[in-house]
Structure 1
Amino acid sequence: MVCDTTLLLYLDRIGQIGLLHALFEPVYVPELVCLELDMGRLMRPDTINPGKFNWMLAVSVDHSEQAALPPNRLGPGEQAVIAYARSHVGYVAGLDDRQARLFAERLEVSVVGVIGILIRAKKAGLIVAVQPLLDDLQRCGFHLALDLYEETLKLAGEKDA
C-alpha cells in the first residue's frame, strides 16, 4: 500500500494508525507526502510523522512517473501516490479525496480510503465496531455524507440492509 496524507492523518487522529500495518505490508509513503506532513507539524505538532514507524517506508517517486500521468488538478502528494501505485503492479493507493480516487480508478489503480480500511479491519477482527470510529473521524473534521455513513454501517454488518 502507498498512502496519501489524509489517510495517515485521520487514522492517526482516531488512534487507529496500526490498522495499516496489520492489513498491509509494507506501507509506503511518498517523500512528497512526508513533506506535507512535516509542514503540517509546523501548525499542529501532533501531526503524524511516518519516520517514527519502522513499518512505514518513505519512497521517492520519479518525477517522470508523475509527469506521465494524464492532465489533472490533484495535489503533488496525491499524484505521487497514484504514480507510485501505478508503477508497482498490485499496490493499493490509500486515498480519500473523491477526485483523486476517481482519477486513480480510471487509471486502473486499486484504491482504499479510511472507510475501506475500517471495514477491512472489522472483517479481519481487528476492531469490534466501525460506528464509534466513524463518529471519531467526524469529530476530527473528516467529512462523511450521511448516505456514506449509513452504507458503511451496512457493509460493516452494523446496520440492517
Structure 2
Amino acid sequence: MIVVSDTSPLCYLILIGQQTLLQQLYGRVFIPPAVFDELSHPHSPESVQGWAAALPAWVEVLAPQHIADELAALDSGEAAAIALARDLQATVLLIDERTAVRFARSQGFLVTGILGVLVDAANSGLVSLADAFAALEQTNFHRSPTLFADLLKKHGSE
C-alpha cells in the first residue's frame, strides 16, 4: 500500500498523540518536502515541529517530479501531496481540506483524512474513537457541531 499525506492529517494526529496510527495502519507514509516544510515551520505547534525534527523512519520525504498547473489553486502542501501521489500511484491520499479532497477524488484517488484514519484505527482496535475525538476537540480542528456524535453513532463509541 502506498500512502501519501498532506500536512493536516499528520499535524492533528501529532497533536492528539496518535501519529503512530499511520505506521500501524499503513506501514510507511510518503510526504513531499512542502509538507515537511509546513510541519517544520516556526508557526507550527511545538510538538509538530519536534516530530518533524526527529522524523520517524516510517515517514519518507520524497519530492514530486512535477506539480501540474492545474494544482496551482491549492495550498503548496496539498498540491505537492497530490503530485507525489500521482507519481507514486498512491493507494491512499491523506488530505483534509475540502477543495483538495474534491480535486483528488476527481482524479481517481482514494482520499481519507484525520477522521477516516481515526475510524479505521478504531475499527482495527488500535484506538478508542470516543477518546480520539475527545482529544481532537481540544485542538483547533474545524467541524460541524454534530460531526463527532454522528460518527460515534455510526461507528460505535469504542
Q: TM-score, normalised by structure 2?
A: 0.88
- State yes or no: 1:156 paired with 2:158: no
Q: Between Structure 1 and Structure 2, how many residues are aligned? A: 154
Structure 2 gaps of 5+ residues are none
Whole-angstrom distance in 1 between the partners of 2:74 and 2:44: 23
From 64, 80, 84, the equivalent of 1:61 is 64
1:132 Cα offset (Å): 2.1
1:53 Cα offset (Å): 0.4
Partner secondary structure for residue 31 of structure 2? strand
Whole-angstrom distance in 2 between the partners of 1:43 and 1:24: 25
Q: Identify the residue that residue 19 of structure 1 maps to in structure 2.
A: 21
Q: Which has the higher contact order (CA 8 A, sep 6+)?
A: 2
Identity of aligned residues (%): 31
1:46 Cα offset (Å): 2.3
Whole-angstrom distance in 2 between the partners of 1:43 and 1:149: 25
Structure 1 gaps of 5+ residues are none
1:67 Cα offset (Å): 1.6
Whole-angstrom distance in 1 between the partners of 2:112 and 2:43: 28
Q: TM-score, normalised by structure 1?
A: 0.86
Go from structure 1 to structure 2 and tell me whether the alpha carbon gap of 1:50 and 1:19 turns closer, same or farther (over 3 Å shift). farther
Q: Identify the residue that residue 30 of structure 2 maps to in structure 1.
A: 28
